[in-house]
Amino acid sequence: MGREGGALLDSRLIDDLRRVVGDRWVVCERDSVVDYLLDETPDVVRPQPSSDIVVVKPHSAEEVSEILKVANERRVPVYPVGGRTGLVGGSIPTEPGIIVSMERFKRIEIDEENLMATVGAGVTLGELIEAAERAGLFFPLHPGDEGAFVGGLVATNAGGARAVKYGVMRNYVKGVEVVVPTGEILRLGGRLLKNNTGYNLMHLIIGSEGTLGIITEVTLKLYPRMKHSVTLIAPFSSRRDAIRAVPKILRSGANPLAIEYVELEEILKSAEHLNERWPVEEGFSQLIIILTEVSEDSLYAQAEEIEHLCKESGSGDLVVAEAREEQDRVLRIRSNLYTTLKPDVCDILDIVVPPSMLAELIDIIEELGAEYGAKLPVYGHAGDGNLHAHIMKVNGHAPEYFEELKRKIYEATVKLGGAISGEHGIGETRIKDLKLALSSKEIELMREIKRAFDPNNILNPGKVVGRA
């Protein structure tokens, strides 16, 4: 069977899928399928989804295996989807095919003795955080949207605000159960802190964006819950002053959970969008610094040192949020920034440089904005050098300079020793820019890895390494 539209949804294929998962879990109706076709990618760059799609909702790795065997035999594309919170079109089905939704993979097991959680790919970030907290433990990662599925967080190697202290998703994953495109079920890693047995296939799966296998279960490292936390907000009059304070904080010996950079105009809009109030209404730019410690004395000693360093760098008076409710509100407003801006965004860039180069990158973005007369709001994870620069629409449309400006930002980022994606991934929207950051040999090797896992190119085709 080929990939031409209209041929996919024949009765034999539908019958085969229903035999695997049951009639209830195969969805063909257009009105029901449409909810699975898009993610959070801005509309200007979002790829057009195919309308010739069937959604299948398996419940086990064995069912996923049978689905992939059927698809592989017929050469039918398969698109794994989770919470659909991606920003680079990575889960959008661009050819006729099968969407495999992981929403029924909901098992959660907390291993308190080993400080591990084993969870189904369909468990949301919010559900994982709550389960860990009930056991007196802590899952630090927070990419922003608590509706994201754990399987998707692993598939995209998600980062987020707290990566500066505890790292990105790769640093938490100790084991994965994954079904490769030819149908075999692999169980890689486990509840181990060390494992040096051969090539690390698990780390190939992490960040592969659904192109090498469908993740069905994950074992994650947890941490003891910190007893004390505080959130500081430091206002600055300029981007550069705020960014230059970050290396001072990191060199001071303080160990913040997060150092986030935001700008006043956008953070006030985000608060208004949520019908909340942002606690600091001064300064063009602001740093949000989150501290967590076992000892209250250590926590406040770090807070005092950070306050001194921020003021030395030109900040106004810091606002301190101590109550859990206040801290949660700050994080909620910060996490809502993209949702607020999205209707007016052409693209949200995900550039990353060595943290010491961040001030220089900020200067270049300001210069390019002035050169093109463009509004370029910026926020992101200042503690690890990862910024989200937004190229905004003009009168509701992408400006003619959009692609050229994006390329110049990417070129400047790479020249500073950076990369075009710190956490969002390549998906489909970044493929054309991949050659700016990677050599032809690197891209060739990635395509060879894709062929080794997926000889018939059925799994998430066209993503990450393109169609070549």
Kindly state the average pLDDT of the residues 346-366.
96
Phi-psi sector, 183: left (phi>0), alpha (psi -120 to 50), beta: left
Tracing tokens 């296939």 back to the chain, one arrives at 201
Nearest-angstrom CA–CA distance, 237 and 416: 25
Helix, strand, coil fractions of the chain, as percent rounded to 5: 40, 20, 40
With bands split at pLDDT 50, 70 and 90, how would you rate the model's confidence at 226? Answer: confident
The strand ranges marked E within 276-369 are: 285-293, 319-321, 345-348, 351-352
Kindly state the average pLDDT of the residues 342-350.
98
With bands split at pLDDT 50, 70 and 90, how would you rate the model's confidence at 413? Answer: very high
Query: What CATH topology corresponds to 228-335?
Result: Alpha-Beta Plaits (3.30.70)
Q: What is the pLDDT of residue 436?
A: 96
Nearest to 238 by CA among 287, 307, 174: 287
73 pLDDT higher than 60: yes
CB 374 within 8 A of CB 391: yes
With bands split at pLDDT 50, 70 and 90, how would you rate the model's confidence at 354? Answer: very high
Nearest-angstrom CA–CA distance, 235 and 285: 6
User: What CATH number does domain 341-440 carry, 3.30.70.2740, 2.40.30.10, 3.40.220.10, 3.40.50.10140?
Assistant: 3.30.70.2740
Q: What is the pLDDT of residue 10?
A: 86
Q: Where are the alpha helices (DSSP H) in 34-106?
A: 61-74
User: What CATH number does domain 108-224 carry, 3.40.50.720, 3.40.50.2300, 3.30.465.10, 3.50.50.60?
Assistant: 3.30.465.10
With bands split at pLDDT 50, 70 and 90, how would you rate the model's confidence at 467? Answer: confident
9 pLDDT higher than 70: no
Domain over 11-104 is classified CATH 3.30.43.10: yes
* Domains of the chain by residue range: 11-104, 108-224, 228-335, 341-440
